[in-house]
Structure 1
C-alpha cells in the first residue's frame, strides 16, 4: 500500500469511529475488535491488500508501541485516586509484582516443558505475555480522576505498574539466552535491573510529577494571569521523565506512571482539596466566575487528559490494524493456540488468586480481575524490544507468532465478554451490594 492509501484507510476508520461513537458504544463488542476485523479482511489472512512484517519493521513498531504505552500509562497515573493509601493500593501492588512473578514462572515452565523452548526463551515469553495492557483495556479501567470503583482502580493500577515490573524478567530472559550481561550469579541483574531500576524509576517519576505540578500551579497563581499549555506540558513531562529514567538505567514505563500519580497528587494538594469519606482528595467547589458562572480551576493533569485519550484512541486504531496485517495462516499452530489457552485459563487466574490471598477482595471481584487480564500493545512492545536487542532469529520468529496470536485471541475473548460480563456484574452489585 502507498502512503496515500494508508492515509485513506486510517482516515476512513477515524471518521467511522468518530461519527458512529454512540452506535459503537451500544454494540456488545469493543472498538479494537472492529479494527482487528478490518486488518484481518485487508491483511494476508484476507484479501492481502497490505501486510506488515513485525520482524522486518521491528524498530518502527517498537517506537510506535512505546509511544502508545507511555501516553496510556501517564493517563492512567493522573486518573489514580490520591493520596496513596496503603490498604487501597496493596492489592494492585501484589498483582503487579507477586502475580506478575508467578505468571512469568508458569508461562516459562509451560514453554520449557510443553513448547520445548530454552529456559531463557521461556522466561522471556512469560515476561512478554504476563503484563496486562494499559492501551486496549480502557473498558475495564478507571474512566475519570474521581472514579472510586474498586475493580476498575485495581485493574488500572496493575496495568500502570506491571509494565515496569515485567522489564527485569525481559532482561533475565535475554541474559539467559546470552545476549545480555547478568553478572556473576545474576548479582548485576538483581542489583541494577530489579532494585535500582524499580525504585529509581519511582523516585525520578515522582520527583518529575511533583516539580511540574508545583511549577504549573505557581505560574497560574501569578498576576497578571499566566497561561499554561497543558497538553504540551503533559507530553513534555512524559518525554523528559522517560528519557532521564532510561539514561539512569531505570524503567521508564514505571517512572511515567509514577509521574502521573505525583502530578495529580501535587495539584490537588496545592489547590487545597479536601478529603472525602474514604480519605481521598477531591477538588473543592469551583470558584464563581463572571456573571455568577462557576469556573473550575485548571490543572495540567485534568486539562491534558482529554488530548491524551485521543492519542490513545489513534494508537489503538493504528496498532490493532497493523496487528491484522501481521496475521497469516501460519500463525495458527497448536503451540500458539495452546499457549493462549494456558495463559487465559491457568496462568492468569492462578497467579491472581495466589497474589491476592489475604487481601480481603470478594470472590466476585477477584474472579473479574482474574479474567480481565487483557494482553495487547504492551506485549507487542516487549517483543519488539527483545528482537531489537539481538534475540536469535529463530526464536524471534517463534515468539512473534505466539505473541501475535495471543494478543489477537485476547482482543477477541476479552472484547466479546467485557460488556456482557460487566453489565451483569454491575446489575448484581446494585441488587446485592454485599
Structure 2
C-alpha cells in the first residue's frame, strides 16, 4: 500500500469511529474488532494489499507496543477511584500477582507437556500470554475518573498492574533458555527480578507521582494566573518514571501505573487541603477572583492530561490492530494455536482467577465475569517482541509469533463479541 492509501484508510477509519455508525452498535462490534477485520481483509489472508513481518520488524513493533502499553497503564492509573488501601485493592492485587503466577504455571505446563516446548520456552510463553491487556480491553474497563463499578475497577487495576508483574516470568524463561536451571539462577531471579524490581517500581511510582502533585499544587496555589501544560506534565511523568525504573532495574510498566494512581490521589488530597485553606484565609470583603483563562485546565494534571492521552491510546490501538491483521496468513490457524487459545480462555484464566480470589469475599458473579474477560492484546505482543529483540532463536521466535498472534486475534474476536451481551445480561 502507498502512503496515500494508508492516509486515506486511517482517516476514513477515524471518521467512521468518530461518527459511531449505528451498524457498529447493532452488531456489538468493538473498535478493535473493526480494525482487525479490515486488517485481515487487506492483509495476506484475503487481498494481500500489505504484509507486516513481525520477525523482520521486531524492534519497531517492540517500541510501538511499548509506547501503547505505557499510555494505557498511565490512563488506567488515572481512572482509579481510590488510593492504595488494602481493603479496596485486595482483589486486584491477588489477580495481578497470585492469579498471574498460576496462569503462567498452567500455560507453561500446557506448553511443556502438550506443545513439547523446552521448559524455559514454556515459561516464556506463559509470561507472554498471561497478562491481561489495558489497550484492547477498554469496553470492560473504567469509563471515566472515579468510576466506582467494581467489575470495571477490578479489571482495570489488574491490567494496569499485571503488565509489570508478568515481566519476571519473561525474564526467567529467557534465562532458562540460555543457561541450565539451577538453584543459583532461581535465587538470583527471586531476589533481583521479583523482589528488587517490584519493590523499586512501587517506590519510584509512589514518590515521583506524589512529588509532581505537590509541585503542581504549590505552583497553582501561589501563582493563580500561571497556565500549566497538563499534557506535557503527564507525558513527562511517564517518561521520568519509566526512565528511572529502567535505571534502577525496576519494572517500568508497574511504576508508571503506580505513579498515575499516586498523582491522581495526591491531587485529590491536596485539592481538599486547598479548599480548606482558602475558606480559612478568605476575608468577607475580598473581591471575587477574576475568571481563569479559557486555556486553564481544571486544576488537576490527571484530568487535563487525559484529554490528550486517550486519543493517543485510541490511535495506537488502531495502528497496532491493523498491523496485527496484516501479520496473519490462512495457515496461521493451526490446531496447536487455536487449542492453546481456547484452553487459555476457558480453563486457565477462570481457574487462576478462582484460586487467586479464594477467601477474598469477591461475589461469585463478579469472579465469573473477571474470569471470562481476560483480554489478551498489545501487552503480549510487546513481551513477544522484547524476547525476539533480546535474542530468542529464530525457530522458537516463529513458533511464538504464530501462537501469540492467534491467541490475541481470537481474544479480540471472542471477547469483543461477548462483552456487550454479557455485561448487559449479567452486570
The TM-score normalised by the length of structure 1 is 0.91
Counterpart Cα distance in 1 of 2:237 and 2:174: 30
For the 8 Å contact 2:298–2:304, the answer to whether it is kept is no
- Give a deviation string over 1:255-300, Cα, whole Å, max 9, x none: 00000000001101100179xxxxxxxxxxxxx9879xxx984210
After the TM superposition, which residues 175-190 of structure 1 pair with which residues of structure 2 at under 5 Å, given as runs?
175-178=175-178, 184-190=184-190
Counterpart Cα distance in 1 of 2:180 and 2:271: 47
Match of 1:112 in 2: 112
Q: Are the structure 2 counterparts of residues 180 and 133 from structure 1 closer, same or farther at C-alpha, using a change threshold of 3 Å? A: farther
Match of 1:69 in 2: 69
Counterpart Cα distance in 1 of 2:320 and 2:226: 38
Match of 2:332 in 1: 331
For the 8 Å contact 1:132–1:376, the answer to whether it is kept is yes
- 1:8 to partner: Cα distance: 2.1
> Partner of 2:117: helix, strand, or coil?
coil
Q: Does 2:9 correspond to 1:32? A: no
For the 8 Å contact 1:95–1:355, the answer to whether it is kept is yes
> Partner of 2:370: helix, strand, or coil?
helix
Match of 1:210 in 2: 210
Match of 2:285 in 1: none
Paired residues in the alignment total: 412
For the 8 Å contact 1:182–1:188, the answer to whether it is kept is no
For the 8 Å contact 2:353–2:371, the answer to whether it is kept is yes
Match of 2:395 in 1: 394
For the 8 Å contact 1:349–1:370, the answer to whether it is kept is yes
For the 8 Å contact 1:91–1:154, the answer to whether it is kept is yes
Counterpart Cα distance in 2 of 1:364 and 1:6: 44
Counterpart Cα distance in 1 of 2:252 and 2:39: 31
> Partner of 1:422: helix, strand, or coil?
helix
- 1:187 to partner: Cα distance: 2.2
Q: Is there any run of 5+ residues in structure 1 with no aligned partner, and where?
A: 275-287, 427-434
Match of 1:50 in 2: 50
For the 8 Å contact 2:83–2:262, the answer to whether it is kept is no
Counterpart Cα distance in 2 of 1:138 and 1:418: 10
Counterpart Cα distance in 1 of 2:369 and 2:130: 17
The TM-score normalised by the length of structure 2 is 0.92
- 1:208 to partner: Cα distance: 1.2
Counterpart Cα distance in 2 of 1:289 and 1:16: 43
For the 8 Å contact 1:77–1:261, the answer to whether it is kept is yes
For the 8 Å contact 1:44–1:325, the answer to whether it is kept is yes
Q: Are the structure 2 counterparts of residues 206 and 343 from structure 1 closer, same or farther at C-alpha, using a change threshold of 3 Å? A: same
- 1:79 to partner: Cα distance: 0.7
Match of 1:416 in 2: 417
Counterpart Cα distance in 1 of 2:60 and 2:297: 41
Q: Are the structure 2 counterparts of residues 387 and 296 from structure 1 closer, same or farther at C-alpha, using a change threshold of 3 Å? A: closer
Counterpart Cα distance in 2 of 1:34 and 1:82: 33
Q: Are the structure 2 counterparts of residues 99 and 289 from structure 1 closer, same or farther at C-alpha, using a change threshold of 3 Å? A: farther
- 1:190 to partner: Cα distance: 1.4
> Partner of 1:304: helix, strand, or coil?
helix
Q: Are the structure 2 counterparts of residues 180 and 232 from structure 1 closer, same or farther at C-alpha, using a change threshold of 3 Å? A: farther
Decide which moves more: 377-386 or 207-216.
207-216
For the 8 Å contact 1:183–1:189, the answer to whether it is kept is no
- 1:223 to partner: Cα distance: 3.1
Match of 1:366 in 2: 367
For the 8 Å contact 1:134–1:160, the answer to whether it is kept is yes
Q: Are the structure 2 counterparts of residues 222 and 402 from structure 1 closer, same or farther at C-alpha, using a change threshold of 3 Å? A: same
For the 8 Å contact 2:164–2:253, the answer to whether it is kept is yes
Counterpart Cα distance in 1 of 2:27 and 2:297: 34
> Partner of 2:272: helix, strand, or coil?
coil
For the 8 Å contact 1:202–1:258, the answer to whether it is kept is yes
Counterpart Cα distance in 2 of 1:355 and 1:178: 31
- 1:211 to partner: Cα distance: 1.2
Counterpart Cα distance in 1 of 2:297 and 2:235: 22
For the 8 Å contact 1:29–1:419, the answer to whether it is kept is no
Decide which moves more: 148-157 or 15-24.
15-24
- 1:19 to partner: Cα distance: 2.3
Counterpart Cα distance in 2 of 1:127 and 1:146: 31
Match of 1:375 in 2: 376
